[in-house]
Amino acid sequence: MLCPDIALGLDRVPASSSPRHRVVWLSRTDHERATHVLPAPPPGIHRTDWTAGEGATPDWQERLRQTLDAQRAAALRKRMSPSDHATHVLCQSLDHHAELQLWRGCRLLSSGRAVVTDRLHAHVLSLLLGIQHAVLDDRHGKVRSFWETWTSDAKCARLSRTPEEALSYAEWVATEALGVVFGLQPALGGTAGSQRRAIR
């Protein structure tokens, strides 16, 4: 039985922020990074990773601190006095933590007019946000396998073989998107809602 990533089932995603970069290049920095030699990012290309903590405003950091405190307290209560209520409270705190990270991730991705990524969930969130993006495989072939099985017909995504190819495509898309802003080009790729319908 095939089962897609559960993130594709999100009913709603946080609202997009206004783009600040031509291209956001969300590039893995861990052991799953592919063996490509990464080129130096050209001007206008913002290279980062989830682990850099971008989008963590002071207000977000304070909310995360409160959430982690509540999570630790709920986990302790569940160990000391197991009950359905204790489990429910712990699950609520875990859900809140996930919502905070989702908000930060969507804010980071939507800060670019286009995205390049080798992270599976950056690909999924870009689809749900309707962001034009280029997808690169990871070291283990996970991203390519997911693409070939579930998302190869998505109108706002393209699988690239190399970082250079992905960046070239994303820069072209970003230029086209800027033309849309000034009324010089038709909109690319449809809305976020149309992208969700296309991959379900």
Instruction: Give the tens place of pLDDT for each residue, 128-138.
Output: 999 999 999 99
Is residue 180 assigned to a domain? yes
Give pLDDT, residue 179. 54
Dist CA 39 CA 34 (whole Å): 13
Number of domains in the chain: 1
What pLDDT digit, counting tens, does each position of 131-174 carry? 999 999 999 999 999 999 999 999 999 999 999 999 999 999 99
Q: Is residue 6 part of a domain?
A: no
Q: What is the reported pLDDT for 200?
A: 33
| Residue 13, domain member (yes or no) | no
pTM of this prediction? 0.82
In a domain, 2, yes or no: no
CB-CB neighbours of 142 under 10 Å: 14
- Give one DSSP letter per residue of 109-154, joined into a string: HTTEEEEEE--HHHHHHHHHHT--EEE---TTSHHHHHIIIIITT-
Separation between Cα atoms, residue 135 and residue 161, nearest integer Å: 9
Q: Which has the closest alpha carbon to 53: 79, 29, 32?
A: 29
What residues make up the domain containing 115? 20-34+44-49+57-200
Instruction: Pick the range with the lowest mean pLDDT from 80-84, 151-155, 173-177.
Output: 173-177
In a domain, 7, yes or no: no
